[in-house]
A and B are shown apart, each in its own frame.
Chain A
Amino acid sequence: MEWPILWRSCAVDAAPPMPSETLTLRHVTKRFGGVTAVSDVSFDIPPGRITGLIGPNGAGKSTLVNMIAGVLTLSEGDIRLGSRLLSQAPAFEVARSGIARTFQNIRLLAEASVLDNVLVGFHRLERASLASHLLGLPASWRETRDLRARARDLLNRFGMQRYAEYPAGGLSYGHQRRVEMMRALATQPRLLMLDEPVAGMNDVEAAELGDIFASLARDGMAVLLIEHNVPFVMRLCAEINVLDTGRLIASGPPGTVMRDPAVIAAYLGTG
Protein backbone atom coordinates (compact mmCIF):
# COMPACT_ATOMS: atom_id res chain seq x y z
CA MET A 1 0.00 0.00 0.00
CA GLU A 2 1.27 3.47 -0.78
CA TRP A 3 1.29 6.09 1.91
CA PRO A 4 0.02 9.07 -0.11
CA ILE A 5 -3.31 7.28 -0.09
CA LEU A 6 -3.84 8.61 3.41
CA TRP A 7 -3.32 12.28 2.94
CA ARG A 8 -4.91 12.50 -0.47
CA SER A 9 -8.39 13.87 -0.17
CA CYS A 10 -11.05 11.32 -1.04
CA ALA A 11 -12.08 12.71 -4.38
CA VAL A 12 -9.55 15.20 -5.66
CA ASP A 13 -9.96 14.74 -9.37
CA ALA A 14 -13.70 14.59 -9.67
CA ALA A 15 -15.16 18.05 -9.75
CA PRO A 16 -18.59 18.24 -11.38
CA PRO A 17 -19.81 19.56 -13.72
CA MET A 18 -17.48 17.69 -15.98
CA PRO A 19 -17.12 17.64 -19.73
CA SER A 20 -18.88 14.75 -21.36
CA GLU A 21 -16.64 12.12 -22.87
CA THR A 22 -17.09 9.01 -24.92
CA LEU A 23 -16.27 5.62 -23.44
CA THR A 24 -14.54 3.44 -26.02
CA LEU A 25 -14.19 -0.34 -25.86
CA ARG A 26 -11.56 -1.86 -28.15
CA HIS A 27 -11.06 -5.61 -28.58
CA VAL A 28 -12.28 -6.20 -25.05
CA THR A 29 -11.96 -9.86 -24.10
CA LYS A 30 -12.56 -11.79 -20.88
CA ARG A 31 -11.72 -15.41 -20.30
CA PHE A 32 -12.67 -17.33 -17.18
CA GLY A 33 -10.36 -20.32 -17.32
CA GLY A 34 -11.41 -22.03 -20.54
CA VAL A 35 -14.64 -20.05 -20.99
CA THR A 36 -14.49 -16.90 -23.12
CA ALA A 37 -17.31 -14.83 -21.63
CA VAL A 38 -16.57 -11.73 -23.74
CA SER A 39 -14.68 -11.98 -26.99
CA ASP A 40 -13.11 -9.10 -28.97
CA VAL A 41 -15.89 -6.57 -28.35
CA SER A 42 -15.49 -3.01 -29.66
CA PHE A 43 -18.07 -0.22 -29.51
CA ASP A 44 -18.51 3.31 -28.20
CA ILE A 45 -20.77 4.73 -25.52
CA PRO A 46 -21.08 8.44 -26.38
CA PRO A 47 -22.53 11.15 -24.14
CA GLY A 48 -25.98 12.57 -24.74
CA ARG A 49 -27.74 9.35 -25.64
CA ILE A 50 -28.73 5.92 -24.41
CA THR A 51 -26.72 3.05 -25.81
CA GLY A 52 -28.43 -0.31 -25.61
CA LEU A 53 -26.74 -3.63 -24.88
CA ILE A 54 -28.88 -6.71 -25.34
CA GLY A 55 -28.38 -10.42 -25.76
CA PRO A 56 -29.62 -13.75 -24.45
CA ASN A 57 -28.82 -15.04 -20.95
CA GLY A 58 -25.14 -15.66 -20.45
CA ALA A 59 -24.19 -13.52 -23.46
CA GLY A 60 -21.59 -11.61 -21.41
CA LYS A 61 -23.42 -8.32 -20.75
CA SER A 62 -22.82 -8.16 -17.01
CA THR A 63 -19.25 -9.34 -17.48
CA LEU A 64 -18.71 -6.37 -19.80
CA VAL A 65 -20.18 -3.95 -17.25
CA ASN A 66 -17.95 -5.42 -14.54
CA MET A 67 -14.88 -4.95 -16.73
CA ILE A 68 -15.76 -1.32 -17.43
CA ALA A 69 -16.38 -0.77 -13.70
CA GLY A 70 -12.95 -2.17 -12.82
CA VAL A 71 -14.42 -5.09 -10.87
CA LEU A 72 -13.06 -7.64 -13.38
CA THR A 73 -9.69 -7.35 -15.11
CA LEU A 74 -9.51 -7.58 -18.90
CA SER A 75 -7.87 -10.56 -20.55
CA GLU A 76 -7.27 -8.44 -23.66
CA GLY A 77 -8.18 -5.11 -25.17
CA ASP A 78 -8.59 -1.69 -23.64
CA ILE A 79 -11.18 0.69 -22.29
CA ARG A 80 -10.86 4.49 -22.39
CA LEU A 81 -12.91 7.39 -21.15
CA GLY A 82 -11.93 10.19 -23.54
CA SER A 83 -8.17 9.78 -23.72
CA ARG A 84 -7.82 8.26 -20.28
CA LEU A 85 -6.99 4.56 -20.16
CA LEU A 86 -9.18 2.78 -17.61
CA SER A 87 -8.52 -0.90 -18.30
CA GLN A 88 -6.00 -1.26 -15.44
CA ALA A 89 -7.72 1.05 -12.94
CA PRO A 90 -9.22 -0.38 -9.74
CA ALA A 91 -12.97 0.04 -9.24
CA PHE A 92 -12.80 3.07 -6.96
CA GLU A 93 -10.67 4.99 -9.47
CA VAL A 94 -13.03 4.12 -12.30
CA ALA A 95 -15.87 5.44 -10.17
CA ARG A 96 -13.95 8.63 -9.42
CA SER A 97 -13.40 9.23 -13.10
CA GLY A 98 -17.17 9.49 -13.44
CA ILE A 99 -18.53 6.04 -14.14
CA ALA A 100 -21.45 4.80 -12.06
CA ARG A 101 -23.40 1.59 -12.25
CA THR A 102 -26.28 -0.37 -10.82
CA PHE A 103 -26.07 -4.07 -10.08
CA GLN A 104 -28.13 -6.76 -11.76
CA ASN A 105 -28.52 -8.49 -8.39
CA ILE A 106 -29.38 -5.44 -6.31
CA ARG A 107 -26.73 -4.45 -3.75
CA LEU A 108 -27.98 -2.04 -1.11
CA LEU A 109 -26.94 -1.45 2.49
CA ALA A 110 -29.98 -3.41 3.60
CA GLU A 111 -30.40 -2.11 7.13
CA ALA A 112 -29.50 1.50 6.42
CA SER A 113 -32.32 3.89 5.56
CA VAL A 114 -33.11 4.77 1.96
CA LEU A 115 -31.79 8.29 2.57
CA ASP A 116 -28.49 6.98 3.98
CA ASN A 117 -28.13 4.62 1.03
CA VAL A 118 -28.40 7.57 -1.35
CA LEU A 119 -26.20 9.76 0.85
CA VAL A 120 -23.16 7.48 0.48
CA GLY A 121 -23.46 7.96 -3.27
CA PHE A 122 -22.28 11.56 -2.84
CA HIS A 123 -18.86 10.39 -1.64
CA ARG A 124 -17.27 11.45 -4.91
CA LEU A 125 -18.37 15.05 -4.37
CA GLU A 126 -17.10 15.30 -0.79
CA ARG A 127 -14.44 17.94 -0.34
CA ALA A 128 -13.97 18.13 3.45
CA SER A 129 -10.50 17.01 4.54
CA LEU A 130 -9.73 13.98 6.68
CA ALA A 131 -8.78 16.31 9.54
CA SER A 132 -12.13 18.09 9.43
CA HIS A 133 -13.92 14.71 9.54
CA LEU A 134 -11.89 13.58 12.54
CA LEU A 135 -12.18 16.85 14.43
CA GLY A 136 -15.85 17.39 13.62
CA LEU A 137 -15.11 20.76 12.02
CA PRO A 138 -17.88 22.78 10.35
CA ALA A 139 -16.54 21.89 6.90
CA SER A 140 -17.45 18.28 7.62
CA TRP A 141 -20.93 18.66 9.12
CA ARG A 142 -21.99 21.41 6.73
CA GLU A 143 -21.08 19.12 3.89
CA THR A 144 -23.16 16.32 5.41
CA ARG A 145 -26.11 18.69 5.85
CA ASP A 146 -25.89 19.95 2.26
CA LEU A 147 -25.53 16.48 0.79
CA ARG A 148 -28.49 15.25 2.81
CA ALA A 149 -30.60 18.01 1.25
CA ARG A 150 -29.42 16.96 -2.20
CA ALA A 151 -30.23 13.34 -1.41
CA ARG A 152 -33.78 14.43 -0.55
CA ASP A 153 -34.01 16.21 -3.91
CA LEU A 154 -33.07 12.97 -5.64
CA LEU A 155 -35.69 11.08 -3.64
CA ASN A 156 -38.30 13.58 -4.81
CA ARG A 157 -37.26 13.15 -8.41
CA PHE A 158 -37.82 9.41 -8.14
CA GLY A 159 -41.01 9.76 -6.14
CA MET A 160 -39.42 8.05 -3.14
CA GLN A 161 -39.55 10.80 -0.50
CA ARG A 162 -41.99 8.93 1.73
CA TYR A 163 -39.57 6.01 2.03
CA ALA A 164 -36.65 8.21 3.16
CA GLU A 165 -36.37 6.66 6.63
CA TYR A 166 -37.35 3.15 5.58
CA PRO A 167 -34.69 0.40 5.78
CA ALA A 168 -33.71 -0.15 2.16
CA GLY A 169 -33.73 -3.93 2.44
CA GLY A 170 -37.44 -3.93 3.31
CA LEU A 171 -38.56 -2.32 0.04
CA SER A 172 -40.04 -4.08 -2.98
CA TYR A 173 -37.58 -4.95 -5.78
CA GLY A 174 -38.84 -2.10 -7.92
CA HIS A 175 -38.19 0.40 -5.18
CA GLN A 176 -34.82 -1.13 -4.34
CA ARG A 177 -33.78 -0.67 -7.96
CA ARG A 178 -34.76 2.98 -7.71
CA VAL A 179 -32.60 3.40 -4.62
CA GLU A 180 -29.65 1.92 -6.52
CA MET A 181 -30.25 4.33 -9.38
CA MET A 182 -30.45 7.30 -7.04
CA ARG A 183 -27.23 6.21 -5.37
CA ALA A 184 -25.50 5.92 -8.74
CA LEU A 185 -26.84 9.31 -9.85
CA ALA A 186 -25.65 10.90 -6.61
CA THR A 187 -22.10 10.38 -7.86
CA GLN A 188 -22.89 12.79 -10.74
CA PRO A 189 -21.52 10.40 -13.33
CA ARG A 190 -20.53 11.08 -16.92
CA LEU A 191 -21.46 7.49 -17.73
CA LEU A 192 -24.28 5.60 -16.03
CA MET A 193 -24.46 1.84 -16.58
CA LEU A 194 -27.83 0.24 -15.83
CA ASP A 195 -27.82 -3.56 -15.62
CA GLU A 196 -31.47 -4.58 -16.12
CA PRO A 197 -32.92 -1.57 -14.27
CA VAL A 198 -36.59 -2.35 -14.90
CA ALA A 199 -36.49 -6.12 -14.39
CA GLY A 200 -39.60 -7.17 -12.47
CA MET A 201 -41.42 -3.85 -12.93
CA ASN A 202 -44.72 -3.35 -14.70
CA ASP A 203 -44.97 -1.32 -17.91
CA VAL A 204 -46.12 1.86 -16.17
CA GLU A 205 -43.22 1.81 -13.70
CA ALA A 206 -40.78 0.95 -16.48
CA ALA A 207 -42.03 3.81 -18.65
CA GLU A 208 -41.63 6.26 -15.75
CA LEU A 209 -38.01 5.25 -15.30
CA GLY A 210 -37.48 5.26 -19.06
CA ASP A 211 -38.47 8.93 -19.09
CA ILE A 212 -35.90 9.64 -16.39
CA PHE A 213 -33.16 7.82 -18.37
CA ALA A 214 -34.08 9.80 -21.49
CA SER A 215 -33.89 13.10 -19.63
CA LEU A 216 -30.47 12.17 -18.17
CA ALA A 217 -29.19 11.51 -21.68
CA ARG A 218 -30.70 14.77 -22.93
CA ASP A 219 -28.73 16.58 -20.23
CA GLY A 220 -25.51 15.14 -21.64
CA MET A 221 -24.91 11.94 -19.71
CA ALA A 222 -23.75 8.79 -21.45
CA VAL A 223 -26.10 5.94 -20.53
CA LEU A 224 -25.52 2.22 -21.11
CA LEU A 225 -28.76 0.28 -20.82
CA ILE A 226 -28.83 -3.49 -20.46
CA GLU A 227 -32.33 -4.91 -20.67
CA HIS A 228 -34.17 -8.02 -21.78
CA ASN A 229 -37.33 -6.02 -22.49
CA VAL A 230 -36.70 -5.42 -26.20
CA PRO A 231 -39.54 -2.94 -26.91
CA PHE A 232 -38.32 -0.86 -23.95
CA VAL A 233 -34.77 -0.79 -25.33
CA MET A 234 -35.97 -0.03 -28.89
CA ARG A 235 -38.01 2.91 -27.68
CA LEU A 236 -35.16 4.51 -25.69
CA CYS A 237 -31.94 3.73 -27.53
CA ALA A 238 -30.36 5.49 -30.46
CA GLU A 239 -28.02 2.58 -30.95
CA ILE A 240 -28.22 -1.03 -29.88
CA ASN A 241 -25.38 -3.53 -29.54
CA VAL A 242 -26.18 -7.22 -29.49
CA LEU A 243 -23.98 -9.76 -27.73
CA ASP A 244 -24.29 -13.49 -28.21
CA THR A 245 -22.01 -15.96 -26.43
CA GLY A 246 -19.51 -13.17 -25.84
CA ARG A 247 -19.32 -11.89 -29.42
CA LEU A 248 -20.78 -8.65 -30.75
CA ILE A 249 -23.09 -9.85 -33.51
CA ALA A 250 -24.78 -6.57 -34.45
CA SER A 251 -24.60 -2.82 -33.78
CA GLY A 252 -26.71 0.00 -35.10
CA PRO A 253 -30.06 1.78 -34.92
CA PRO A 254 -32.86 -0.30 -33.37
CA GLY A 255 -34.80 -0.83 -36.59
CA THR A 256 -31.81 -2.19 -38.48
CA VAL A 257 -30.50 -4.35 -35.64
CA MET A 258 -33.79 -6.06 -34.90
CA ARG A 259 -34.18 -7.09 -38.55
CA ASP A 260 -30.67 -8.55 -38.65
CA PRO A 261 -30.90 -12.31 -39.32
CA ALA A 262 -28.07 -13.07 -36.87
CA VAL A 263 -29.95 -11.26 -34.09
CA ILE A 264 -33.22 -13.01 -34.89
CA ALA A 265 -31.41 -16.35 -34.89
CA ALA A 266 -29.71 -15.61 -31.55
CA TYR A 267 -33.00 -14.66 -29.95
CA LEU A 268 -34.81 -17.67 -31.34
CA GLY A 269 -31.98 -19.85 -30.08
CA THR A 270 -31.12 -21.30 -33.47
CA GLY A 271 -27.89 -19.33 -34.01
Chain B
Amino acid sequence: MGLGVYQSLFDVFLLNCGFAFSQFIVLRAGVFSIASAAYAGIGGYATAILVTRYGVSAPVAVAAATALGLIVAGVLSIPLARLRGVYQAIATLAFVEIVVSLGFYAEDLTGGAMGINGIPKLVGTGTLCVALGAVLYLMVAIDRSGLGRAFDTVRQDETVAGSLGISVQRSHAIAFIISGGIGGLFGGLQSLYVYSIEPQQFGFALLVSMLASIVLGGRGTVIGPIIGTAILTALPELARPLAENRPLIHGLLLIVIINYLPHGVADSLALLRRRRRAANAV
Protein backbone atom coordinates (compact mmCIF):
# COMPACT_ATOMS: atom_id res chain seq x y z
CA MET B 1 0.00 0.00 0.00
CA GLY B 2 1.33 3.44 -0.90
CA LEU B 3 0.98 6.56 1.14
CA GLY B 4 -1.98 7.65 -0.95
CA VAL B 5 -4.03 4.77 0.28
CA TYR B 6 -3.51 5.81 3.87
CA GLN B 7 -4.38 9.38 2.96
CA SER B 8 -7.69 8.38 1.41
CA LEU B 9 -8.37 5.98 4.25
CA PHE B 10 -7.90 8.91 6.62
CA ASP B 11 -10.32 11.00 4.55
CA VAL B 12 -12.90 8.22 4.72
CA PHE B 13 -12.34 8.10 8.46
CA LEU B 14 -13.00 11.85 8.73
CA LEU B 15 -16.21 11.57 6.70
CA ASN B 16 -17.40 8.61 8.74
CA CYS B 17 -16.63 10.48 11.96
CA GLY B 18 -18.92 13.26 10.79
CA PHE B 19 -21.71 10.78 10.05
CA ALA B 20 -21.10 9.09 13.40
CA PHE B 21 -21.58 12.39 15.26
CA SER B 22 -24.88 12.93 13.49
CA GLN B 23 -25.96 9.59 14.93
CA PHE B 24 -24.26 10.21 18.28
CA ILE B 25 -26.07 13.40 19.19
CA VAL B 26 -29.57 11.95 18.94
CA LEU B 27 -28.63 8.85 20.93
CA ARG B 28 -27.01 11.09 23.52
CA ALA B 29 -30.38 12.78 24.06
CA GLY B 30 -32.22 9.47 24.20
CA VAL B 31 -33.74 9.69 20.72
CA PHE B 32 -33.52 6.40 18.86
CA SER B 33 -33.46 8.10 15.46
CA ILE B 34 -31.60 6.40 12.64
CA ALA B 35 -32.41 9.14 10.14
CA SER B 36 -28.80 10.28 9.80
CA ALA B 37 -28.32 8.33 6.57
CA ALA B 38 -31.28 10.22 5.13
CA TYR B 39 -29.83 13.61 6.14
CA ALA B 40 -26.58 12.56 4.49
CA GLY B 41 -28.49 11.64 1.34
CA ILE B 42 -30.40 14.91 1.31
CA GLY B 43 -27.24 16.94 1.87
CA GLY B 44 -25.31 14.87 -0.64
CA TYR B 45 -27.87 15.24 -3.42
CA ALA B 46 -28.48 18.92 -2.68
CA THR B 47 -24.78 19.67 -2.97
CA ALA B 48 -24.26 17.55 -6.08
CA ILE B 49 -27.25 19.11 -7.85
CA LEU B 50 -26.35 22.66 -6.89
CA VAL B 51 -22.74 22.28 -7.99
CA THR B 52 -23.16 20.24 -11.19
CA ARG B 53 -26.38 21.74 -12.45
CA TYR B 54 -26.40 25.30 -11.20
CA GLY B 55 -22.70 26.00 -10.88
CA VAL B 56 -23.06 27.04 -7.25
CA SER B 57 -19.75 27.40 -5.42
CA ALA B 58 -18.73 24.62 -3.05
CA PRO B 59 -19.02 26.56 0.25
CA VAL B 60 -22.49 27.84 -0.64
CA ALA B 61 -23.64 24.38 -1.73
CA VAL B 62 -22.37 22.75 1.46
CA ALA B 63 -23.94 25.50 3.57
CA ALA B 64 -27.24 24.91 1.77
CA ALA B 65 -26.92 21.15 2.40
CA THR B 66 -26.38 21.82 6.11
CA ALA B 67 -29.35 24.18 6.27
CA LEU B 68 -31.53 21.67 4.45
CA GLY B 69 -30.50 18.96 6.93
CA LEU B 70 -31.41 21.25 9.85
CA ILE B 71 -34.79 22.10 8.37
CA VAL B 72 -35.76 18.56 7.36
CA ALA B 73 -34.77 17.23 10.80
CA GLY B 74 -36.71 20.00 12.51
CA VAL B 75 -39.84 19.18 10.53
CA LEU B 76 -39.33 15.44 11.07
CA SER B 77 -39.05 15.94 14.84
CA ILE B 78 -42.64 17.20 15.06
CA PRO B 79 -44.53 14.02 14.09
CA LEU B 80 -41.93 11.87 15.90
CA ALA B 81 -42.16 13.75 19.21
CA ARG B 82 -44.64 11.25 20.64
CA LEU B 83 -42.71 8.14 19.65
CA ARG B 84 -40.02 6.45 21.71
CA GLY B 85 -37.45 3.73 21.35
CA VAL B 86 -38.08 1.13 18.72
CA TYR B 87 -41.03 3.09 17.28
CA GLN B 88 -38.74 6.04 16.65
CA ALA B 89 -36.27 3.69 15.01
CA ILE B 90 -38.89 2.23 12.69
CA ALA B 91 -40.33 5.63 11.76
CA THR B 92 -36.90 7.06 10.97
CA LEU B 93 -35.96 3.90 9.06
CA ALA B 94 -39.06 4.51 6.93
CA PHE B 95 -37.81 8.04 6.35
CA VAL B 96 -34.46 6.71 5.16
CA GLU B 97 -36.32 4.39 2.75
CA ILE B 98 -38.33 7.35 1.45
CA VAL B 99 -35.21 9.36 0.76
CA VAL B 100 -33.55 6.42 -1.01
CA SER B 101 -36.64 5.83 -3.16
CA LEU B 102 -36.81 9.51 -4.03
CA GLY B 103 -33.24 9.13 -5.20
CA PHE B 104 -34.38 6.34 -7.50
CA TYR B 105 -37.65 7.78 -8.77
CA ALA B 106 -37.09 11.54 -8.96
CA GLU B 107 -34.92 10.83 -11.98
CA ASP B 108 -35.01 14.33 -13.45
CA LEU B 109 -33.48 15.72 -10.30
CA THR B 110 -31.34 12.87 -9.01
CA GLY B 111 -30.40 10.87 -12.05
CA GLY B 112 -32.25 7.81 -10.73
CA ALA B 113 -30.31 4.60 -10.25
CA MET B 114 -27.40 6.02 -12.26
CA GLY B 115 -26.98 8.74 -9.68
CA ILE B 116 -25.06 11.92 -10.31
CA ASN B 117 -21.64 11.60 -11.90
CA GLY B 118 -18.82 13.93 -12.69
CA ILE B 119 -19.09 15.93 -9.48
CA PRO B 120 -15.92 18.02 -9.19
CA LYS B 121 -13.66 17.00 -6.32
CA LEU B 122 -13.55 20.25 -4.39
CA VAL B 123 -13.02 18.82 -0.90
CA GLY B 124 -9.76 17.44 0.46
CA THR B 125 -8.29 16.37 3.77
CA GLY B 126 -7.92 19.96 4.97
CA THR B 127 -11.58 20.84 4.50
CA LEU B 128 -12.69 17.60 6.13
CA CYS B 129 -10.43 18.28 9.12
CA VAL B 130 -11.84 21.77 9.54
CA ALA B 131 -15.44 20.51 9.31
CA LEU B 132 -14.84 17.69 11.77
CA GLY B 133 -13.00 20.10 14.06
CA ALA B 134 -16.05 22.37 14.07
CA VAL B 135 -18.36 19.45 14.85
CA LEU B 136 -16.03 18.29 17.63
CA TYR B 137 -16.02 21.77 19.13
CA LEU B 138 -19.81 21.79 19.07
CA MET B 139 -19.94 18.39 20.73
CA VAL B 140 -17.51 19.36 23.49
CA ALA B 141 -19.37 22.64 24.07
CA ILE B 142 -22.64 20.75 24.46
CA ASP B 143 -20.95 18.14 26.64
CA ARG B 144 -19.84 20.78 29.13
CA SER B 145 -23.05 22.77 29.14
CA GLY B 146 -26.44 22.61 30.74
CA LEU B 147 -27.74 21.33 27.41
CA GLY B 148 -25.48 18.26 27.68
CA ARG B 149 -26.70 17.66 31.23
CA ALA B 150 -30.29 17.95 30.03
CA PHE B 151 -29.58 15.44 27.21
CA ASP B 152 -27.99 12.99 29.65
CA THR B 153 -30.92 13.26 32.04
CA VAL B 154 -33.55 12.86 29.34
CA ARG B 155 -31.73 9.82 27.96
CA GLN B 156 -31.56 8.06 31.31
CA ASP B 157 -34.91 8.92 32.86
CA GLU B 158 -37.57 11.14 31.28
CA THR B 159 -39.60 11.24 34.50
CA VAL B 160 -36.65 12.60 36.43
CA ALA B 161 -35.96 15.11 33.66
CA GLY B 162 -39.54 16.36 33.88
CA SER B 163 -39.37 16.59 37.65
CA LEU B 164 -36.40 18.95 37.29
CA GLY B 165 -38.10 21.22 34.76
CA ILE B 166 -36.35 19.80 31.70
CA SER B 167 -38.61 19.65 28.64
CA VAL B 168 -38.10 16.27 27.00
CA GLN B 169 -39.74 17.51 23.81
CA ARG B 170 -37.43 20.50 23.53
CA SER B 171 -34.32 18.41 24.23
CA HIS B 172 -35.33 15.84 21.63
CA ALA B 173 -36.10 18.49 19.03
CA ILE B 174 -32.74 20.21 19.54
CA ALA B 175 -30.90 16.89 19.24
CA PHE B 176 -32.84 16.04 16.07
CA ILE B 177 -31.99 19.36 14.46
CA ILE B 178 -28.29 19.20 15.31
CA SER B 179 -28.20 15.67 13.95
CA GLY B 180 -29.82 16.87 10.71
CA GLY B 181 -27.32 19.70 10.33
CA ILE B 182 -24.29 17.47 10.81
CA GLY B 183 -25.72 14.78 8.52
CA GLY B 184 -26.44 17.34 5.79
CA LEU B 185 -23.00 18.92 6.16
CA PHE B 186 -21.08 15.66 5.83
CA GLY B 187 -23.37 14.39 3.08
CA GLY B 188 -22.53 17.56 1.18
CA LEU B 189 -18.80 17.23 1.83
CA GLN B 190 -18.87 13.61 0.75
CA SER B 191 -20.44 14.52 -2.60
CA LEU B 192 -17.60 16.91 -3.30
CA TYR B 193 -15.08 14.21 -2.44
CA VAL B 194 -16.27 11.04 -4.18
CA TYR B 195 -17.00 12.24 -7.78
CA SER B 196 -20.31 10.41 -7.99
CA ILE B 197 -23.26 9.49 -5.77
CA GLU B 198 -26.11 7.04 -6.14
CA PRO B 199 -29.21 6.36 -4.04
CA GLN B 200 -28.29 3.08 -2.37
CA GLN B 201 -25.16 4.45 -0.74
CA PHE B 202 -27.48 6.33 1.65
CA GLY B 203 -29.42 3.25 2.64
CA PHE B 204 -29.19 0.44 5.11
CA ALA B 205 -25.42 -0.13 4.94
CA LEU B 206 -24.59 3.48 5.83
CA LEU B 207 -27.17 3.45 8.59
CA VAL B 208 -25.72 0.29 10.09
CA SER B 209 -22.15 1.55 9.97
CA MET B 210 -23.19 4.82 11.69
CA LEU B 211 -24.98 2.92 14.43
CA ALA B 212 -22.15 0.43 14.72
CA SER B 213 -19.55 3.11 15.32
CA ILE B 214 -21.56 4.46 18.26
CA VAL B 215 -22.24 1.05 19.72
CA LEU B 216 -18.53 0.19 19.39
CA GLY B 217 -17.21 3.50 20.66
CA GLY B 218 -19.86 4.48 23.17
CA ARG B 219 -22.50 7.17 23.30
CA GLY B 220 -21.68 8.77 26.63
CA THR B 221 -18.47 10.60 25.74
CA VAL B 222 -17.43 12.67 22.74
CA ILE B 223 -14.42 10.47 22.04
CA GLY B 224 -16.64 7.39 21.66
CA PRO B 225 -17.75 7.91 18.05
CA ILE B 226 -14.15 8.65 17.02
CA ILE B 227 -12.87 5.43 18.54
CA GLY B 228 -15.76 3.46 17.04
CA THR B 229 -15.22 4.95 13.58
CA ALA B 230 -11.48 4.39 13.79
CA ILE B 231 -11.99 0.71 14.57
CA LEU B 232 -14.59 0.26 11.82
CA THR B 233 -12.52 2.11 9.22
CA ALA B 234 -9.14 0.59 10.05
CA LEU B 235 -9.90 -3.00 10.85
CA PRO B 236 -11.07 -4.23 7.45
CA GLU B 237 -8.03 -2.56 5.87
CA LEU B 238 -5.56 -4.02 8.31
CA ALA B 239 -7.06 -7.44 7.86
CA ARG B 240 -6.71 -7.01 4.12
CA PRO B 241 -8.02 -10.42 3.09
CA LEU B 242 -11.17 -9.65 5.01
CA ALA B 243 -11.81 -6.28 3.37
CA GLU B 244 -14.34 -7.90 1.06
CA ASN B 245 -16.30 -8.99 4.06
CA ARG B 246 -16.75 -5.66 5.75
CA PRO B 247 -20.40 -6.26 6.66
CA LEU B 248 -19.48 -9.60 8.16
CA ILE B 249 -16.78 -7.95 10.27
CA HIS B 250 -19.17 -5.21 11.39
CA GLY B 251 -21.63 -7.82 12.43
CA LEU B 252 -19.16 -10.00 14.33
CA LEU B 253 -17.54 -7.05 16.07
CA LEU B 254 -20.91 -5.73 17.12
CA ILE B 255 -21.91 -9.03 18.62
CA VAL B 256 -18.62 -9.36 20.49
CA ILE B 257 -18.64 -5.78 21.82
CA ILE B 258 -22.29 -5.75 22.79
CA ASN B 259 -21.62 -8.88 24.79
CA TYR B 260 -18.41 -7.86 26.50
CA LEU B 261 -18.47 -4.06 26.48
CA PRO B 262 -22.14 -3.12 26.46
CA HIS B 263 -21.31 0.57 26.94
CA GLY B 264 -18.81 0.69 24.08
CA VAL B 265 -15.04 1.12 24.35
CA ALA B 266 -14.87 4.76 25.49
CA ASP B 267 -17.75 4.62 27.96
CA SER B 268 -16.49 1.39 29.51
CA LEU B 269 -13.09 3.00 30.07
CA ALA B 270 -14.68 6.14 31.52
CA LEU B 271 -16.81 4.05 33.83
CA LEU B 272 -13.80 2.07 34.98
CA ARG B 273 -11.86 5.26 35.70
CA ARG B 274 -14.76 6.77 37.66
CA ARG B 275 -15.14 3.60 39.73
CA ARG B 276 -11.43 3.56 40.47
CA ARG B 277 -11.39 7.23 41.45
CA ALA B 278 -14.41 6.69 43.65
CA ALA B 279 -12.78 3.69 45.29
CA ASN B 280 -9.77 5.87 46.13
CA ALA B 281 -11.96 8.68 47.42
CA VAL B 282 -14.08 6.69 49.84
Contacts and interface: CB of A to CB of B under 8 A. Distances in A.
B141 A166 contact: no
B212 to A, nearest CB: 22
Interface string A202-214: 0000000000000
A123 B141 contact: no
Contact of A133 (B141, B159, B275): B141
A203 to B, nearest CB: 24
Interface string B147-182: 111101100110111111111111001100110000
B137 interface: yes
A136 B146 contact: no
Given A1-B81, A5-B170, A165 B145 contact: no
B144 A144 contact: yes
Contacts of B138: 134, 136
A140 B165 contact: no
Given A126-B146, A140-B144, A187 B159 contact: no
A194 interface: no
B140 interface: yes
Contacts of B164: 92, 95, 100, 120-121, 123-124, 183, 187
B159 A91 contact: yes
Contact of A124 (B165, B173, B177, B271): B165
B159 A136 contact: no
B147 A123 contact: no
B235 interface: no
Interface in B108-154: 137-138, 140-142, 144-150, 152-153
A133 B142 contact: yes
A141 B144 contact: yes
Contact of B147 (A111, A121, A130): A130
A135 interface: yes
A107 B157 contact: yes
A158 interface: no
A162 B168 CA distance: 32
Nearest to A107: B160
A165 B165 contact: no
State the majority secondary structure of interface residues on B: helix
A40 interface: no
B159 A134 contact: no
A6 B282 contact: no
Interface string B31-60: 000000000000000000000000000000
A92 B141 contact: no
How many interface residues does chain A have, given as a range? 35 or more
A28 interface: no
Interface residues of B, number: 42
B142 A134 contact: yes
Contacts of B153: 109, 120, 123
Nearest to A170: B278
A95 B165 contact: yes
B281 interface: yes
Interface in A166-224: 166-167, 170, 183-184, 187
Interface centre among B150, B164, B178 (most CB of A within 10 A): B164
B78 interface: yes
B139 to A, nearest CB: 10
Contacts of A258: none
A166 B144 contact: no
B23 interface: no
A119 interface: yes
Contacts of B275: 167, 170
B77 interface: yes
A147 B173 CA distance: 25
Given A69-B163, A101-B163, A164-B281, A1 B149 contact: no
B274 interface: yes
Contacts of B240: none
A109 B141 contact: no
A11 B278 CA distance: 33
Nearest to A143: B146
Contact of A92 (B137, B145, B162, B174): B162
Nearest to B281: A165
B181 to A, nearest CB: 10
B281 A166 contact: yes
A135 B165 CA distance: 23
Contacts of A52: none
Given A5-B170, A134-B141, A165 B277 contact: yes
* Shortest Cβ-Cβ A-B pairs, 8 listed: A136-B141, A91-B162, A95-B165, A133-B145, A133-B147, A166-B278, A96-B165, A124-B165
9 contacts: A1-B77, A1-B169, A6-B173, A6-B177, A95-B165, A103-B160, A132-B145, A133-B147, A170-B278
Given A8-B170, A10-B150, A134-B138, 18 more contacts: A1-B77, A1-B78, A6-B170, A6-B174, A70-B162, A100-B164, A123-B164, A128-B146, A134-B178, A140-B144, A143-B146, A147-B146, A165-B278, A165-B281, A166-B278, A166-B281, A167-B278, A187-B165
